Amino acid sequence: MKKQSFAPTMKDVAKEAGVALGTVSKVVNGLPVGDSYRVRVEDAIRKLNYQVNSYAQGLKAGKTYTAALLIPNTIDPFFAAVAYHINIALIKRQYRMLLCCTDYDPRQEQEYVVMAQQNKVDGIIGLTYNPGLIVEENTPFVAIDRPMGPKIPCVACDNFGGGQLAAEKLADLGCKHVAFLRVGSSLDNEPNKRKAGFENGCLSRGLSCEMKIINDGAPYEEFETFLSEHIRDGKLAFDGIFCVTDRLAWLVLGTLRRLGQRVPEDVQLIGFDGIRAFGSIDYHCSTIVQPISDIAEMCVDLLLRESALAKPPLVCLPVTYAYGGTTREP
């Protein structure tokens, strides 16, 4: 068996790739170099099985041991939980975290991306809904829920699988005619896959399914109208409803009660996210739970990985179903 007798160095990589040592250093540290150079360096790194020397890395100038989190706010409990778990994951690794609540303001986001490019922070984890955000592919950036390009890793829960799981649960619990309620986003993002997964689950389990999708910004009352139009002689046409978020499920729960429908006796309801009252008490509804702590760990792990290699463009983490009072007891 052929075995390398000592570990390859950065010089070996430079020689193999036919580039300057500085170019290898830039690639390893995620700094901008021309595409063709980067490909050659990455090929050489793989060929030689070069391992980055983390100790030497730590000594390089300009390392701030600070990462930034871009998130719309920490008022929404899903965002609040993401901020908490990413903070804890960074602190565990001796990193500090700059928090930037963007309130969906694109200027803030672009400013932090510039900071990362100037090495004022070591990297950014961003949950952003800004379609115009420009992140150059060498910027150390990890996206949550929204793909930002092939070189920027995106971490999300398995949204497709979650939608499918919701349909399967409703089928298991005896539902025949179900509805899917969603506030739609025009942005290409991972949570949009919940719909396709739910449709798929309905199809495979023989559930009839009706969809009501309203645009982001449209009034919630459209769902009330939809539901009340589907009541004949006091009876709702659906025995199961899947809502795209727990927040929507909570609103729908109130509407169903006002319309005289009993939950879960007349109609069972499943949300998505796994939000608990006051952050730690009961679930607000039966729900597909996002693994927020695992998502946070994965984001931080991908961001702080020293090499530009081995950063997958999309990582989907598994969801689970939790009973929260709006379905029949398991």
Total residues in contact with its own copies, by rule CB under 8 A: 33
d(CA 50, CA 48): 5
| Cβ neighbour number for residue 292 with a 10 Å cutoff | 22
**DSSP string covering 25-88:** HHHHTT----HHHHHHHHHHHHHHT----HHHHHHSTT---EEEEEES-SSSHHHHHHHHHHHH
End-to-end CA distance of the chain: 56
Considering the rule CB under 8 A, would residue 74 count as an interface residue with its own copies? yes
Quick one: 83 or 269, whose CB is closer to its own copies?
A: 83
Q: Give the shortest CB-85-to-its own copies separation in angstroms.
A: 9
Considering the rule CB under 8 A, would residue 281 count as an interface residue with its own copies? yes
CB under 8 A: which stretch of 43-51, 100-108, 164-172, 221-229 binds its own copies?
A: 100-108
Choosing from 108, 110, 185, 200, the residue that interacts with its own copies (CB under 8 A) is 108
Choosing from 66, 185, 200, 307, the residue that interacts with its own copies (CB under 8 A) is 66
Considering the rule CB under 8 A, would residue 275 count as an interface residue with its own copies? yes
Q: Give the shortest CB-167-to-its own copies separation in angstroms.
A: 24
Q: Which of 259, 205, 253, 199 is nearest to 233 (CA)?
A: 259
Choosing from 1, 4, 5, 103, the residue that interacts with its own copies (CB under 8 A) is 103
**DSSP string covering 225-283:** HHHHHTEETTEES-SEEEESSHHHHHHHHHHHHHTT--TTTT-EEEEEE--BGGGTS-B
Q: Give the shortest CB-180-to-its own copies separation in angstroms.
A: 20
Q: Give the shortest CB-224-to-its own copies separation in angstroms.
A: 15
Q: Which helix (H) or strand (E) holds 310?
A: none
Contacts with its own copies by CB under 8 A lie at: 66, 69, 73-77, 80-81, 83-84, 87-88, 91, 96-101, 103, 108, 246-247, 250-251, 275, 277-281, 284
